[in-house]
Amino acid sequence: MFTIPFNPSQTFKSACLTAVMTIPGLVFSSAASAHFQMIYTPELLKNRGGEIELKMPFTHPAANGHVMDIATPEAFYQVRKGKKTDLLPQLETSTWKSADGEGVSYQSKARLRGLGDNIFILQSAPYLEQAEDIYIQQFAKTIVNVGSLPTDWDSELGLSAEIVPLSKPYALYEGGSFTGVVKSAGKPVPFAEIEVEYVNYQPEMKSNAFSSQPTIDPPADAFITMTIKADANGTFTFALPKAGHWGFCALGVGPKTEHKGKELSQDAVIWVQAHPVTDL
């Protein structure tokens, strides 16, 4: 029988789960249960700079699920070649639609100047998940590259909850893998629990909505939200079987555990894009 390591400092409540099923050696979420703060733009690898648009709903991307109404983010900024630019003043409130209705979202335009990596960070305001009576706060990250010149992609930003990539998040093949390290205020988190979702319903930028048709047909509910574990050093690897955008959410890894008298889960989120392999 396999044994899942137990960390007594971690809670059994999962910020991204409304239900969890376990069998020896495996953990997987119930369908449409995971919460992911998105920072979405269609292409994370661009040939040239210019203006891009970022859509930021707090939702269930794999299942075209509920969009949570969330307060204005505490921080939103861009890091390029070590320089931080505050983007919070230009953040716009919008609405995002899914098959389960619509909810408050945020959006922004950003300028990509020159070659290299552009890291976008959104630190959400704590959200009360009433079903579990806990607060969720996510530190979300996406990296957009210009011209295939690597600069900042592997930078550690010292976030309260952070996934530091060990693979370029924008230069991954379909069928390849992504590796990252889960950190809490700069320290690796042993055996961190990480939820993984595929953006199965393509975001429609003009209509602020998910498409009505999925890209793939998951063979079972267990494949909608998949759960993996980091190793003793906080490192994990996940194979990407399909081209498109994938989200990784490390649950409850931040140091702060209480907000307004209730439990708080500070989660780390990172977005990556797998590209199709095209034969000549």
Tell me if 273 is assigned to some domain.
no
Nearest to 36 by CA among 12, 10, 68: 68
Report pLDDT for 33: 52
- The per-residue pLDDT for 179 is 98
pTM of the predicted model as reported, rounded to 2 decimal places:
0.89
* Residue 185 burial (C-beta neighbours within 10 Å; 0-12, 13-18, 19+): middle
- The per-residue pLDDT for 10 is 41
Query: What are the tens digits of pLDDT across the range 224-263?
Result: 999 999 999 999 999 999 999 999 999 999 999 999 999 9
Q: Is residue 67 part of a domain?
A: yes
Q: Please identify which residue in the block is written with the tokens 């119930």.
A: 30
Give the range of the structural domain holding residue 190, as residue numbers without chain letter. 20-262
Give the C-alpha distances (Å, rounded to integers) separating 62 from 52, 74, 138: 23, 26, 18
Alpha carbons 152 and 141: distance in angstroms, whole number: 13
Q: What is the pLDDT of residues 99-121, one digit of tens each?
A: 999 999 999 999 999 999 999 99
Residue 179 is assigned to a structural domain of this protein:
yes
pLDDT reported for residue 86: 98
Q: What is the structure's pLDDT at 28?
A: 36
Phi, psi of 89 (to 5 degrees): -60, -25
Q: In terms of Cα–Cα distance, which of 85, 68, 165, 166 is closest to 121?
A: 85
9 pLDDT more than 60: no
Confidence of residue 3 (pLDDT cuts 50, 70, 90): very low
Which whole number is the average pLDDT over 35-42?
97
With pLDDT > 70 as the criterion, what percentage of the chain qualifies?
88
Lowest mean pLDDT among 13-27, 149-163, 188-202: 13-27
pLDDT-derived band of residue 77, with 50, 70 and 90 as boundaries?
very high
Residue 1 belongs to some domain of the structure: no
Average pLDDT over residues 138-152: 98
Per residue, what are the HEC states of 8-65? Answer: CCCCCCCCCCCCEEEECCEEEECCCCCCEECCECCCCEECCCEEEEEEECEECCCCCC
Neighbours of 272 (CB within 10 A): 24
Q: Is residue 241 part of a domain?
A: yes
Residue 42 has pLDDT above 50, yes or no: yes
pLDDT in tens, 177-203: 999 999 999 999 999 999 999 999 999
In a domain, 165, yes or no: yes
**Has residue 275 been placed in a domain?**
no
Euclidean distance between CA atoms 146 and 153, whole angstroms: 12
Answer whether residue 5 is part of any domain: no
DSSP state string for the chain: -------TTS-S--TT-S-EEEETTEEEEPTT---EE--B-S-SEESS-EEEEEEE-EE-TTTT-PPPP-PPPSEEEEEETTEEEE-GGG-EEEEEEETTEEEEEEEEEEEE-SSEEEEEEEEPPPEEETTTTEEEEEEEEEEEEETT--SSTT-----SEEEEESS-TTSEETT-EEEEEEEETTEE-TT-EEEEEE--S-EETTTTEE-SS-SS--SSGGGTSEEEE--TTSEEEEE--SSEEEEEEETT-SS--EETTEEEEEEEEEEEEEE-----
pLDDT at 34: 82
CA 18/CA 131 separation, integer angstroms: 7
Q: Is pLDDT at 89 greater than 60 in this prediction?
A: yes
Compute the mean pLDDT over every residue in the chain, rounded to the nearest whole number: 90
Q: What is the pLDDT of residue 110?
A: 97
- Mean pLDDT, residues 157-182 taken together: 98
Query: Considering its fold, how many domains does the chain have in total?
Result: 1
